[in-house]
Structure 1
Amino acid sequence: MRRVHLEAAEDHVQRLARESDPLGAIKELIWNALDADATRVDVVLHRSPLGAVERVTVRDDGTGIAPEALAAAFDRIGGSWKKWTSGTLLRQRTLHGSKGQGRLRAYALGDHIRWTTVADGTGGRSRTEVSAHAGARNDFLIADSEPTQAATGTLVEAWGKQSPRLDRLPLRANHRRLTTELAPYLTAYPGITVVYDGVPVDPGTSVARTAVYPLTFTTVAGTAEEARLKVIEWSTAVERELHLCDGNGMPVASIDIGIRAPGFEFTAYVLWPAMGDHMGDVYLGGGHDSDVTALVAAARERLREHFRGRADDRRRELVQRWRSEGSYPYADDAGPRLERETFDLVAAAVHRHIPRRANQRRATLALLRDALRSRPDRLTDLLGTVFNLSADDRGQLERILGDADRSWLIRASTTVAERLEAIAELRRLTAGGADLERLSAVLSEQTWVFGERHGLLAGDRALDAVLDRHAGPDLLLARARREHERHQHLVVTGTEGAADGKDLDRLVAYAEAVAGDAHYRGLRVDWDVWLVAGRLPTTDPHRPAGCLVDRDDGSSHLRVWARTWSDVLLECTDRVRFFERSVTDGAAAHERR
């Protein structure tokens, strides 16, 4: 047995071990195995009876370390043989490491470390053990080599360390992190198997989509450089990272992704042949002007373009699927265009929370449409509460719905659509003789038909009681509103067919009796009393169309109207169409912004 001493300050060795990152240590050991031409790497997490991780082993079937190379492998930092070759020794695969620091990372997994390696050397195939302990980090004990006929490869064992970080290694999230980092390599070399805690690391089982884009960026020196951006979208949740890779796709560093793409699980890889020579720029960070920061900025902008396009694709796919199954709440592009487009954006943003059962999905999408129509400005809070949305999903909805002009246009478009539908219903009810009972039900929700100032009127028990005391034409509608010290009343009566002069006289007498009722004595009241019929005699040409009485005595203002259904609905249609043109112009201007 011989002792090899690492010529480096112990605190420097401890910093290189990065003991707070055990998963990073496992990654380094896997890469060391792959750089040794391994075709299979098994990472085993050994648990105690209570479930704590008490030992970690990494076994590979690579070429191992020959006895004559062991001393050089453990007595220095740097100087790795990998610096002097362009690929692995047997298979000429792309190399990952070249700094000779990987063996130190094992201290993040245990206080006791043992390497057992089988390799072909000058004296034939032999088996050798190397051991180390955290109490003397710079010393490695190399046992005498023994001849063997076993297959080549290396087993790394680490134990004797109690740490909550080790107990988190079995989490599925760590398996996903390994998958995202190894994906380019395992895709390039499909004959390799990596197993982590009993589960194969197989990008093919969870890769949903892959895209590669050319990148052009300008260096600090002003020259144009070429690189590539690879985007992998996953079918499972992953840690979003932007991996900075060499030209062969080997990661040399990872940084924050730096963009928003709600609803997508992805990893991005920037491939640049010179990346390894600019690691100092990576560690200086994004606030430092460098070739790497310029490249990262170009990559992030291309990522934004990619996911804008993907969001459009996903929205179209969802809408088409909902249409095919009958869940989409708009038939044949019915409804205002801006409302439908906003609905598509919102529904796509929360599609992961929409029920999978067809009948539940249909109901949910219909409720979502109704909520958008009624209060688009409050929809983010509503959906956030109902679906327990993430911060990313909320942010996306706020960007969609936070535009005050968009919210107003949606409400206005909805109002136009609802009013045109109400007018169409009223036309059906009054064609060939009015259905007074059905008319009363429809008009109770559509008081704006008799003028926009009546749109906020509501039922009033006192008014109902007064009308009950006075006999008059068939009552269709009675609504009231109080504003400051003045009351506003609307009373609508109707007849199924034509009305004659006597009917008009009775209407005026009825209106005067109601307006003069003792209940309203001393109050300031505006009265609008209507008779609507199929046909009417000619009224006074010197008054507004259909106005029989217009009298204001200072406290009570009485207006009595007699109009045909066709005239009332024609005026309503003109008002709504005028408003519709304003909304359409506003929506067009909004789209141009």
Structure 2
Amino acid sequence: MSTITLKAKHDHLEKVASTRDPVKAIAEFVWNALDADATSVSVDFPRNPLDGVQSIVISDNGLGIPRDRAEHDFESLGESWKRQARQTKVHSRAIHGKEGQGRLKFFSLAQKANWSTVYESDGKRLSLSISVDADKLHTGTVSEPIEVSATETGTVVELTNLKEGFEWLTGEQARADFNATFAPYVLQYPDLEIRYDGIPVDPKASIERSHDFKTKSVVGATRVISDLSLKVIEWKSKVSIRRIHFGGETGVVLGTLPANITAPDYSFSVYAYSPFFQEIANANLLELDGLGDPDFTRVVDYIRDEVGDYFRDREAEKSSELIQSLKEAGVYPYEGDPKDEIERRERQVFDIATHAVQSYSRDFKKAENALKKITLGLLKEALAHNPESVTRILRAVFNLPKSKQDDFSELLDRTQLSHIISASSLIAERVVTLQVLREMVFDPKHRSTIKERGELDVLVGENTWIFGENFHFTMQESGLTKIMARVSEELGKARSRKSKGRKPDGKIGRIDSFMGRMVPHADPGHRDFLLIELKRPSLTVTRKELDQLEDYVQALIKQPDFSTTSTAWNFYLVTTEYDDYVKDRVTQTGRPVGLFLDKENHKVWVKTWAEIVRDCEGRLNFIQERLRVEVSAEEIEQKIALLKSSIVKAGKEKADTEGDPGD
């Protein structure tokens, strides 16, 4: 007998040997057996008199462990013979392990591991045993080989003095996890027999359904990951943890990560294969989620997105019969095919929600078709305009179980549907608003009658995005005194109630729109203020209106209250057209078109509606194209009519309630 000493410290070996997944630890010994060309491997759990699991035994009919390899491999961490081999010697199967670490995984399960092996050398069958203790991972014993009359070679690994009761390892979940690991390998090599607690791994009996994705290349952060092969297997039995299994080009599983894929009621495993994963495994980064290689992180995100889409399609497929019956009854709220990708996703989630409602709500099942039509119509509107409310509706209206509510909340988060739909609705509304604005300022039938106050200013006040995003307060048609008071409040400065805002000639003045925002600045108290003076579309701006604008500017920026504050002022005069005098003033060499005054703390602009609309269209078209937002001509006409009526109504209410015109 000889003593072998591993060339590594015990504390390092403990880290290498530790695993929180007992099934994975057992799997390492099965992989070792398969790498030794075994065609039959069995994992057994001998019981004690009280029917508790006494030990764990992994036996195989492989080639065994010769004396020279036992001494070399058990003395050398990371120098396994498998590093030099791509395939097994006899059956030319893919090799799994290459690091020489799998045998130490017993540390997480048992106090002792003993290998009893029979191998062939020079036409003789020889037997030897190897023992390693969990408290002395850096040392072990190898017996002298003796000749035996065994009919076949193979190895039996016995793990004894278990560190805890492992009765659950004989349960259905542990078996399902084990099957999930080896089912693809058995599919690849059907002549194998792998048994777990007496029952063979039988992919045909345990697989509910499988799906192979098209092989693709994924663009990572620093490289292109080529030839990614992806498969999802749905199991008949429930696996305890749904995982993504990563393998190299040989198809052997090298490591796993939690799936983190929203797929209610599905028991599945994902298998991803690429030579890239072998590189990541060699760098010990394969089981780091979000903390490892950026290219690996990108591939994992891609896998989760693809499989997530697959299960949304599966769920919609399962609910297709119900949806068809609702269509035939005339209560399904959608018509025709989805007009874009956003509506396609919306319908997927709607169908899934409807299927759940039909399954869990007795009231909905018993309801008349007329009531079902109203109910589903409301659900559709909620999903299209306020997706976050769907979970509340499912709870309050349909009394859906909390687990199902959580599934739908996670589904919305994972698909980012709520963000996409909200953004799409926002863009659609802005497209309509611009159409209304065009008609008001350009269409001859409206241009001659539209007024800047009570009509045009109402539209602008409700859509401040026209002049920029992120304004955190707005005031419509306010006197200079009120504006000064609001600025003081924003800057945290006290202002006397008796202080009045006046133009240089002492007269009162009113600004159509006043807005404020915080912007990145060295001074955290810095504020940007925007004041807008609108002119009716039929008016041509002349020197008179320009002088009036300057009066407003002087009235505001010369207030002593703000002389020491960090503020920037932007003044806009917006019109449809201006005369030659104004044109000469706002088209000066070295300045942007429209810039009338450019001072240290304020700028004054004269802009046409054509310029404003063109800038807005540029921003919206870019986003609209990527979101594929489409707004039909009929929908635009309906919203224009509604928006016009609301503007007229708001204008009348404003006129009825208007107070002191000077303040």
Amino acid of the structure 2 residue aligned with 1:236: S
1:336–1:185 CA distance, 2 compared to 1 (3 A): closer
TM, length-normalised to structure 2: 0.53
Report the CA distance between 1:384 and its aligned residue.
7.8
- Match for residue 333 of structure 1? 330
2:492 is matched with none
Hey, what does 2:353 align to over in structure 1? 346
Match of 2:157, SS?
strand
Q: Which residue pairs with 2:234 in the alignment?
A: 233
Deviation of 1:104 (Å): 0.9
Q: CA deviation at 1:203?
A: 2.2
Partner Cα distance (2:361, 2:173) in 1: 25
Give the corresponding residue for 1:252.
254
Aligned equivalents of 1:371, 1:201: Cα separation in 2:
50
Structure 2 CA distance, aligned partners of 1:148 and 1:368?
A: 81
Alignment match, 1:315 = 319
Superposition pairs of residues 55-134 of structure 1, within 5 angstroms: 55-122=55-122, 124-134=124-134
What does residue range 291-440 of structure 1 map to in structure 2 within 5 Å?
Answer: 291-319=295-323, 328=325, 331-334=328-331, 336-337=333-334, 344-349=351-356, 363=366, 369=372, 372=375, 376=379, 379-382=393-396, 385=399, 387=401, 389-390=403-404, 392-395=406-409
Say what the alpha-carbon RMSD is for the aligned residues: 3.8
Letter in 2 for 1:39: T
Counterpart for residue 478 of structure 1 = none
Instruction: Determine if contact 1:219/1:225 at 8 Å carries over to the other structure.
Output: no
- The answer to whether the 8 A contact 2:394-2:405 is kept is no
Query: How far, CA to CA, are the matches of 1:282 and 1:224 in structure 2?
Result: 15
Taking the aligned partners of 2:300 and 2:334, their CA distance within structure 1 comes to: 38
Of structures 1 and 2, the larger Rg is shown by 1
The 5 Å alignment of 1:421-500 reads: none
DSSP-derived class of the 2:355 partner: helix
Structure 2 stretches of 5 or more lacking a match? 336-345, 380-389, 423-633, 640-663
C-alpha offsets along residues 142-182 of structure 1, whole Å, 9 cap, x if unaligned? Answer: 22322222321111001112314x33322321111112222
Shift of the alpha carbon at 1:53?
2.2
Checking the alignment, whether the CA contact within 8 Å between 1:349 and 1:396 is kept in structure 2 is no
> Which piece of structure 1 moves more, 24-33 or 141-150?
141-150
C-alpha separation in 2, matches of 1:252 and 1:199: 24
- 1:255 partner SS: strand
Aligned partners of 1:285, 1:244: CA distance in 2, in Å? 13
* Unaligned segments of structure 1, at least 5 residues: 321-327, 407-580, 587-593
The match for 2:521 is: none
- Whole-angstrom CA distance in 2 between matches of 1:119 and 1:352: 59
TM-score (norm 1): 0.59
User: Which residue does the alignment assign to 1:6?
Assistant: 6
Secondary structure of 2:24 counterpart: helix
- Structure 1 residue 255 displacement after superposition: 1.4
- Displacement of 1:310 after TM fit? 2.6
CA shift digits 1:532-558 (9 cap, x unpaired):
xxxxxxxxxxxxxxxxxxxxxxxxxxx
Question: Contact conserved, 1:220 with 1:289, CA < 8 A, in 2?
Answer: no
| Corresponding residue SS for 2:37 | coil
State the alpha-carbon separation in 1 of the partners of residues 397 and 171 from structure 2.
30
Please show how residues 561-572 of structure 1 align to structure 2 within 5 Å: none
Q: 1:395 to 1:365 in 2, by over 3 A?
A: farther
Q: CA deviation at 1:27?
A: 0.8
CA distance in 1, matches of 2:356, 2:142: 59
- 1:140 CA drift (Å): 1.9
Structure 1 residues 84 and 384 mapped into 2: Cα distance closer, same or farther (>3 Å)? farther
- What is the distance in 2 between the residues matched to 1:234 and 1:318? 24
User: Which residue of 1 is the match for residue 294 of structure 2?
Assistant: 290
CA distance in 2, matches of 1:386, 1:371: 19
After TM superposition, give the deviation of residue 351 of structure 1 in Å. 7.0
CA deviation vs aligned residue, 1:318-357 (integer Å, no higher than 9, x gap) = 545xxxxxxx56644356447x9787432434677689xx
Change (3 A) 1:71 1:222: closer
Query: Cα distance 1:109–1:366, how it changes in 2: closer, same or farther (>3 A)?
Result: farther
Q: Which amino acid aligns with 2:52?
A: A
**Which stretch shows the higher mean deviation, 270-279 or 81-90?**
270-279
CA positional deviation for 1:193: 1.5
Task: Confirm or deny: 8 A CA contact 1:216 1:298 kept in the other structure.
Answer: no
After superposition, the Cα gap between the structure-2 partners of 1:47 and 1:295, relative to the gap in structure 1 and judged at 3 Å, is: same
Shift of 1:100: 0.7
Structure 1 letter corresponding to 2:58: V
Question: Measured at CA, do residues 382 and 130 of structure 1 come closer, stay the same or move farther in structure 2, by a change above 3 Å?
Answer: same
Evaluate the alpha carbon distance shift between residue 345 and residue 391 of structure 1 in structure 2; reply closer, same or farther with a 3 A threshold.
Answer: closer
Q: How far apart, CA to CA, are the structure 2 residues paired with 1:375 and 1:361?
A: 14
Q: Does residue 150 of the first structure (1) align with residue 151 of the second (2)?
A: yes
Against the structure 1 CA distance between its residues 296 and 121, is the aligned structure 2 distance closer, same or farther, given a 3 Å change threshold? same
CA 1:367–1:332: 2 relative to 1, 3 Å: closer
